[in-house]
Amino acid sequence: MTADFDFIIAGGLLITTILSAKSLTIASGGTSGCLLANRLANAATRPSVLLIEAGGEAIGDTIRPPFYRFMNAFMRPDLDHGYSTTKQPLLNDRSIRYIRGKALGGSSVLNFMAYVYGSGEDYNRWGELVGDDSWRWEKTKELFKRIENYNTTAASSYPQYANPSAAEHGQKGLVNVSLPPVLEKGVAIALDAMDKFGIGPRNLDLNSGDPVGVGIFPSSYGGDGRTTSAIAHLANTPDNLTIWSNSTVSRFILDGKKVLGVELVDGRQAMSKKDVILSAGAFDSPKLLLLNGIGPADELGAHGINVVHDLPGVGKNLQDHMLVFLTIEVDPSLTEKDAFESDAAKIAQAQEQWLKDRTGPFTLHNATLFGGFPKLPRLAESAEFKALDKGLQAHLSKPTVPSYEIAGSAPIFPLGFQLAAGSASLTLVAFLMNPLSQGEVTLRSADHHDAPVIDPKYMEHPYDRKSMLEAIREVVTYIRESELKKYFKRFIYGPASTSDEDIQEFMKEALDTVWHANGTVKMGKPEDPNACVSPDFRVYGMEGLRVVDMSVSPLTPNNHTQTTAYLVGQKAADTIIAEYQL
């Protein structure tokens, strides 16, 4: 079967196809792709849209409740592509499991629902790096307003911890964003201790463009629980939007360097009169480009792939946030979460209540994510900082650019650890921000069935190692010396001490990914030898081909990247609608 379209938005394993009198095809039913399909299908000219996704609909009792926010990534392998990194030499030669959503909505089905923009300076630097001021903060913050339905009143019972202004956020978008209506027990104690200890000043709106400080994280949920990109953007499907799920793209249909369409593994074809838009994410977008002869010529030749266009940056510039879990046993008076999670009868009752009316304990436990984005001024005195490019030093020194992230209310770690009866735990997470190590995505073979080779080269950059070490040291010191020490009993998972040597050994054992991969089809200026796409998402050297997902990001923003993925989709939609007068 062959169908003609104006535009194709396609992913390596995911494709969204847009058909119309203006003929659009989109590939990928992920975070960016679902939003893009929605915006294009609802454009004034009403182009017909076919969305093609490798997975199916994400269903089941664990998808929506806030209680399961951390668990789907580990409990639902049916919704995951099952990727892993290569062995990482600086992490005890560990291969890191890399979760990627395989369902309509992509990784928004499995993420931890944190909804934070990052620093406004991230987007200012984005604009500088790609040579386009429309990416600057004053422009992007208006795009965020169009994406979100931001409930700023949910925090009215604790304005001393969160108090975002409705005027600064959007209420007409489709992605539900909220703060918990009630704080979990112990959150206020831990936040007050952070404030007094100096982890950061109180920040009443982490999405103001200045994330530095501590407070309550907004999350991508509403009264019905988790909002995925599919729930937000495909719930009320217009008649000009068709969805093909459980379908896989195998190749581009090419005429020289012009992309005419795509072919699926089952033989179906979609032809594009305008553009093919690749939206498969930081691993599968470069994979599909490489399989189709677009990428570094030497790598393609090694797999016997005909070189269509020698584009050296494809698959390079892979960046990612890293994290480490720090779990402590605490006095049971601090938190009620462990007592609830260890009581099967209470969980069953809570499940029944949630299914009945979306209320009860499933809206409380794990609904609160607290912490923030501290700054470590002492990093600027380190040899690792002083060795950086002056422009990068200037960016990292700006007052609204944090050094690391701290978050509380995470699950007990190691996963499956059994507390003694009557005991309680608290898990804090330290995250590396502004990563500088650069890895790569390459092909395993010329067979599209094979997973890509993912080598993030974690911690290869000296500044990453220094930043992560200092972040862990500060969080461990906070646990032991702040007012939280009244509740502290022992470390379940953490370094033996705060010495450099003990933290470094712990990092080798404990560092893991936050699943924020980006940059592998980097946006940049034409003169940048590693740039793959222009600011309007067009692939350099090719005709009729765009990329719209986190693979285009020229830097790793100081956030949890689902928000930036939505931003990329919105920005691309505006660009395409304007260009083709849709």
* pLDDT at 15 exceeding the cut of 70: no
Whether 548 is in a domain gets the answer no
Distance CA 129, CA 554 (A): 7
Residue 27 is predicted with a pLDDT of: 52
CB atoms within 10 A of CB 164: 23
197 burial (CB, 10 Å; 0-12 / 13-18 / 19+) is: middle
pLDDT(5) > 70: no
Instruction: Give the pLDDT of residue 106.
Output: 85
Furthest CA-CA distance within the chain: 69
Helical H segments across 404-560, by residue range: 462-481, 500-510
Predicted local confidence at residue 519, as pLDDT: 98
| Per-residue model confidence (pLDDT) at position 110 | 84
In a domain, 231, yes or no: no
Supply the pLDDT for residue 449: 87
Q: What is the pLDDT of residue 247?
A: 75
pLDDT at 16: 35
- Say whether pLDDT at 522 is over 70: yes
Whole domain around residue 410: which residue ranges?
66-100+178-225+319-513
Calculated CA dihedral for residues 30, 33, 35, 41, nearest 10 degrees = -130
> Does residue 459 sit within a domain?
yes
* pLDDT computed for residue 217 by the predictor: 97
pLDDT for 29 beyond 80: no
| DSSP string covering 480-507 | HHSGGGGTEEEEEES-SSSSHHHHHHHH
Q: Within a domain: residue 182?
A: yes
- Annotation-wise, does 153 bind a ligand? no
Render pLDDT for 84-124 as a digit per residue (tens, 0 to 9). Answer: 999 999 999 999 999 988 888 888 888 999 999 999 999 99
- How far is it, in rounded angstroms, from Cα 14 to Cα 11? 4
* 462 within some domain: yes
237 within domain boundaries? no
Reported as a pLDDT band with limits 50, 70 and 90, residue 4 is low
Tell me what pLDDT residue 249 has: 83
**Average of per-residue pLDDT across 370-382:** 96
Give φ, ψ of 42 to 5 degrees: -100, 15
Query: What pLDDT, in 10s, does the model give residues 420-474?
Result: 989 999 999 999 999 999 999 999 999 988 999 999 999 999 999 999 999 999 9
Structure-token match 């605490």, residue found = 330
Whole-Å CA distances, 226 to 99, 251, 362, 452, 487: 18, 34, 12, 30, 32
pLDDT score for 19: 32
Q: Is 244 marked as binding a ligand?
A: no
The three-state secondary structure class of 517 is coil
Give the pLDDT mean for 391-399: 97
Q: Which residue has the tokens 């590693």?
A: 530
CATH code of the domain in which 454 resides: 3.30.560.10
Is 386 contained in some domain?
yes
Is residue 126 a known part of a binding site? no
Q: Supply the residues annotated as catalytic.
A: 516, 560
167-208 pLDDT per residue, tens: 999 999 999 999 999 999 999 999 999 999 999 899 999 999
Hey, what are 570's tokens? 């919105």
SS3 (DSSP) at 125? helix
Which percentage of the chain shows pLDDT scores above 70?
95
Residue 24 has pLDDT above 80, yes or no: no
First to last CA, the chain: 27
Return the bridge partners of 84, or none.
Answer: 97
Residue 147 lies in a domain: no
Give yes or no for a contact between 63 and 49, defined as CB atoms under 8 angstroms apart: no
Global pTM reads 0.94
299: left (phi over 0), alpha (psi -120 to 50) or beta: alpha
516 is in an annotated binding site: yes
Given a cut of 70, whether residue 20 has pLDDT beyond it is: no
Q: Which amino acid is at 454?
A: I
Strand 294-295 with 309-310, pairing: parallel
Per-residue pLDDT, 243? 83
How many domains does the structure of the chain reveal?
1
Banded model confidence at residue 30, pLDDT cuts 50, 70, 90:
confident
| Mean pLDDT of all residues belonging to the chain | 92
Between 67-76, 339-348, 502-511, the lowest mean confidence (pLDDT) is in 67-76
Q: Is 31 annotated as a binding residue?
A: yes
